[in-house]
Chain A
């Protein structure tokens, strides 16, 4: 029981790490990912699924929190890559940039590799994460300046 709990939590920790890296990469421009990947020696790999374009149906919820409904589609790209050491990575992203999906898949495979996980985190994911967060913070600050501060005018002698 203990062992199975532990392996489950290891699995979910690994999955959480992969998802976090995927999220950063999906939010980054393809050119930025490619620039970062260019700074490291990439492991030997092959395409398990040739990068391809497709659609996903984007769903919302009635009232924001109720039953799901189909809002409309979005273009996506996906790819799968296998390192020569066996790790399989998956790349999914909004948009029609197949190359970007392929790079995300490669990064996802490296995130799972003992040999490359630290390297890809330090040289690719971490700097991109910082850029994504900086972009978000800038937008949040611009938005915050448009917050209404109500004040009440006091009338009369009191």
Chain B
């Protein structure tokens, strides 16, 4: 059997040249700059950073441009770039309680210390297409108000003071923080690994799973205790300097889901929690993440595992869109040899079938 394995080089080269031409679009129209993408398609950039698992706005914008707006391709490019740089270490865990908040809402309490702050949101817009934006539009400067110096405690901290909600699991100094970029996944997986997996997971996949829990497939009775978005300071313990050095700030979104109770003969019932955290303004992502984080705690909380969103092996093995697209899309690569062997087998089976039918047509008819 002859299989062509050579001869595609020129076609590939020309295909990439054609791709570059199509990516550029109409050459009479100005080319997109990275600043335009970063500034005006900022939520797309946030998604590429979150799922690409790399905080760098400029690189994410470049990836979106190179991928012609194909988000998963852009995420793939960012993931590949990560492999080109050495890792200096891990930052100190960020303190979202001291976030410079740009948005902060709670659906559980109307009057929360620090207030309900809407920030830049699509909520309460009418979802009507705006023709003004089609023809060049200069929006009004934002309104300003008097900034409050009051602290903005997390809603879960407020509930925690009365013991109404479970406390977060404490750090165990003897156990290193799990890192799925360094060690292959194994199951059962602890919550640190699950959250890392969910943080870089495909937003659509998590959205569908989170939605499935609301519709009854692993019900968790959630309330959005709090969603906050803003800048958090990042510090890194620099061995050479000998102290934790400030690196600057990172925009993040955090979602605290408050879910129905657990309790036992010895422990008073209290609310349980699901947690979501992501780079940039990624509200749908963190809400979905928090729903799935909670449903994946079924084993820990003694709940019966009956639905996909509660099955950590199912969720964690299929959440990564770079892995998923790699396996799905590899089907379009040449499988000529595999296919030839299947074809040969099928021909043999059909021949046997035909021979069997020819040999005893009457017998079959009699049965």
Contacts and interface: CB of A to CB of B under 8 A. Distances in A.
Given A64-B156, A94-B234, A70 B90 contact: yes
A75 B85 contact: yes
A146 B118 contact: yes
Contact of A143 (B82, B102, B248): B102
Nearest to A20: B246
A96 B91 CA distance: 17
Interface in B91-126: 91-94, 96-97, 100-103, 110-111, 115-119
A61 B91 CA distance: 12
A86 to B, nearest CB: 16
B168 A66 contact: yes
Interface stretch (A2-10, A32-40, A52-60, A115-123): A52-60
Nearest to B246: A23
A54 B86 CA distance: 5
Contacts of A73: 53-55, 82, 87
A125 to B, nearest CB: 13
A43 interface: no
Contacts of A56: 87-91, 234, 236, 247
B100 A136 contact: yes
A31 interface: no
Contact of A19 (B90, B169, B243): B243
B247 A94 contact: yes
Contacts of A71: 94, 195-196, 199, 277-279
Contacts of B101: 143
Nearest to A58: B91
A67 interface: yes
Contacts of A90: 238, 240-241, 245
Counting chain A CB atoms within 10 Å of each CB, which of B116, B178, B245 scores highest? B245
Chief secondary structure at chain B's binding surface: mixed
B179 interface: yes
Contacts of A59: 90-94, 177
A131 interface: no
A157 B236 CA distance: 62
Contacts of A114: none
Given A64-B168, A80-B240, A145-B144, A72 B92 contact: no
Interface string A75-102: 1101010000000001011111000000
A141 B279 contact: no
A22 B238 CA distance: 13
B42 to A, nearest CB: 15
Given A61-B168, A70-B179, A93 B146 contact: no
Chain A interface category by residue count: 35 or more
Interface in B203-231: none
A70 B63 CA distance: 23
B179 A72 contact: no
Contact of A74 (B117, B154, B168, B250): B250
Nearest to B247: A94
Contacts, number: 230
B247 A93 contact: yes
Contact of B191 (A62, A95, A144): A62
B145 A62 contact: no
B70 interface: no
A144 to B, nearest CB: 4
A55 B117 contact: no
Given A54-B88, A55-B88, A66-B170, A142 B144 contact: yes
B179 A57 contact: yes
A143 B117 contact: yes
Contacts of A80: 240
B247 A54 contact: no
Contacts of B250: 58, 74, 94
B143 A142 contact: yes
A27 B252 CA distance: 16
A149 B92 CA distance: 36
Contacts of B53: 72-73
B277 A26 contact: no
Nearest to A140: B147
Interface string B29-71: 0000000000000000000011001111011000000000000
Contact of A62 (B85, B103, B119, B168): B168
Contacts of A137: 147
A104 B94 CA distance: 22
Nearest to A95: B56
Contacts of B325: none
16 contacts: A22-B246, A59-B91, A59-B93, A65-B157, A65-B168, A68-B93, A68-B192, A69-B177, A70-B179, A74-B56, A75-B55, A75-B59, A76-B88, A96-B58, A143-B101, A147-B117
